[in-house]
Each structure stands twice: as structure tokens, then as C-alpha cells.
Amino acid sequence: MTNALIEDLQWRGLLYQQTDAEGMEKLLNEESVSLYVGVDPTADSMHIGHIVPLLTLRRFQQAGHRPVLLVGGATGMIGDPSGRSSERNLLNAEQINQNVAGLKAQMERIFDFGEGETGAILVNNYDWVGEMSVIDFLRDYGKLVNVNYLLAKDTIASRLETGISFTEFAYTILQGLDFNHLYDHHNVRIQVGGSDQWGNITTGLEIIRKTHDEETKAFGITIPLVTKADGTKFGKTAGGAVWLDAVKTSPYEFYQFWVNTADADVIKYLKIFTFLTREEIEALEVAVQEEPHLRKAQKTLASEMTKLIHGEAGLQQAERITAALFSGDLKALSVDEMKVAFAGVPSVELAKEDQNIVDLIVEAGISSSKRQAREDVTNGAISINGEKVTELDYTVDAKDRLDDAFAIIRRGKKKYHMVKFN
């Protein structure tokens, strides 16, 4: 009998590889199981490329299974060679601990950590790897994994020409012993990971098989790499990665990333990233085909993702900034929201002194000449902090300096500039 959850994952395009698909479906039909995803704390925040396995694990939680979230306090000190052509920079214990705290806070937004049977558990592999001696590691685990077996792994084979240290060569064994530890101590039966984790997952299954006399019921699932319809990399903008941390990527920027999704990608992303039902997504698919100009699917995607990661307050801020920029009514925004909204616009630094509007917009490079500046002002093309300026003798002074530090000047309908005063 096909498992309803597996069927849903297939419809959403979230299944790439499975070990013993039939056995795993049978297990999921018969009992509530524990599954895990591992995240190495190489930074103090995840970006959106990291969260697909986590969101997939959340789907298992909603279906009555327990998620075990592993933060790699130990493996993060080593570095996963998967998908890399060179060695990672090693982090110290203080950096790792700081990063672990950041990742934990983000995971708590995605999962229910309640007391019930399906409440998520957070574990740190430093708790069992950190106390292990080199002799114990080599004797108890290194002995189980043949070198030829490791050399056949794509992640290792791809690095043989450029070189790989023994440290990274041994990484897959460390992750394998994690699976074995969780199998023994948390009854974890399934590991979920991105497509680049297949080699690490199967190493875990090999170690579990060799350390248990009884017939083991452990399985692995990988998720396909998320791509864009035009072939470019998902999750990147001109400014870099889209982070879950509100300081690195503001809720407004986060919202804008999703709302700008192409029609060709939006239904695929709704399936992968949101928890909307099949019926809701299919209705939005019709809207994309029949009313693409309304961008209902994109707005829904942006709303669902921003609320999930930044909460209702973050979503409201993002929507308020979006509406203000669309209407040009900047007076609806707080000073802090102004800073967020215009963080990426062209900016210039000027002396903090009272100045005629014509002189200021020429000095700031907003208008190309004094003649052009006078035309722009008299034609109503210049606004300061959302207030239109039409008088040629207008003086820009303290009343126009937000936080006594900056002003937002708009020329025309959409050309914004930030003038910083020092």
C-alpha cells in the first residue's frame, strides 16, 4: 500500500533517491518513526538553499513522525567535502558554538519542539564524538569501512585529482557514526538529506548494518537539487545568498526574493517550500495561466515563506514596505523601515549642513545639472522622504534628516537615492 506522505513528496518533486523504497513505505505505514537531518554550523545562519531537507522533515512531523535535528558541533570542525573542490577553512570551538546557537533559533521557527511523541529533538554530535579518542574512532568505526568503498564515493573520487586531506576523507565515517548513534539512542530509522549527501547516508547505513547483529530497518532519502527554469542557480541574488537571519537578509528583502519568482518556477517552489495543500497549489497554477498579471501565486509564496521564517510581524513589515514603495507613500514607514527598504539603493555622503534643494540634488548626482535640477523640482519630479518638493528656494535642513543622518530622495516615479549626512 502506497504511503500517503511518500505519494505527496513525489507529487512535490521532493524524492530523488531512496534505499529500499518498498521497505521504507511499509515501515511508515506500520509505525511512527524518528528521522533526522544534519546541518553543520559553518555559519551562524542558514540560507534558503539549506532548508529544503528541513521542510521535508517537517512534513514527516505533520504526518505523525518525530524529527531529530542534528547540529554538527563535531563535524562542523572538520568540513564536509561534498560539493566542494577545495578544503574548507577550519572553525574554532567558539565560532562553532556561536553558529550552533544561531541555527537552533532558526530551527525553532520551522519545527514544533513540543513534549508529545512527535515533538522535535535537537542534538549536537559533539556530545558523542567530542569525547571519543582517536584509538576508539579507528578501532570501532574506521575498521568497519573499507578504503576502496570510500574511494568509490563521488564526493571523494571527485577530489582525488585536486587533493583531499585525511581529515575530509574521514568525514563520511563521522557522519555515518552519527546515524548509528541516533539509531541506537533515539531509534532514528531514516536519514533525510540533499542529493549531495547520498554517499554520507549510505556510509551510515553500512555502519549500522555492521554494528548490529539483528536485521536492521534503516533507510535513506535524498532530495533533488532545487534549480530555476532558466538554468541559473537557485537562492542567489545580485547581493548574494538569501539568508534566514533577518540581519543578513531583512524580512522585506526575503519577501521580495520570493515575490519576484518567475512564472515558470513559482508552482514548483510552492510545492517544495510551502505547506499549502495540493488543491490550493493547483488553484494557484490556474491563476498563473489565466491571470498572470495578478501574480497571486508569487504573493502567496512570498507570504507563506516570510511568515514561516520571520513570523507574522516580519511579514507585516515586508508587506508594509512593499505597499509604501509601490504607492510612493513613504510617510507610512518608520525610520527603521526606511533604512531596510532603501538599503540597496544608490547612496552618497554629503556634509550635514542646510542646503538649497537644487544644489543638493546636483551635488548628490540625482540630477545631472542645475538646469535639469530646476526642471525636476518645478515639474514635481523630486520628493524628500515621500513629500513632494516643488519650490526652487526649498532648503533641505534638520527637518528632512531622518535620525539626523539620512534622507530618501526620489526622482521621477521609481528612482530612489539615499543621501547620508555626516
Residue list for the binding site: 36, 171, 175, 236
Sheet with 34-39, edge to edge strand ranges:
17-18, 219-223, 188-194, 34-39, 66-71, 121-124
Neighbouring C-alpha atoms within 13 Å toward the C-beta of 272: 24
For residues 131 and 239, what is the distance between their CA atoms, to the nearest angstrom? 41
Cell of 298: 508569487
For residues 197 and 215, what is the distance between their CA atoms, to the nearest angstrom? 24
For residues 400 and 409, what is the distance between their CA atoms, to the nearest angstrom? 10
By the 8 A CB rule, do 97 and 73 touch?
A: yes
Please enumerate, by residue number, every residue annotated as part of a binding site for ATP: 236
Please enumerate, by residue number, every residue annotated as part of a binding site for L-tyrosine: 36, 171, 175
Question: Cβ of 276: how many Cβ atoms within 10 Å?
Answer: 16
What residues contact 135, with CB distance under 8 A and at least 6 apart?
none
By the 8 A CB rule, do 200 and 175 touch?
A: yes
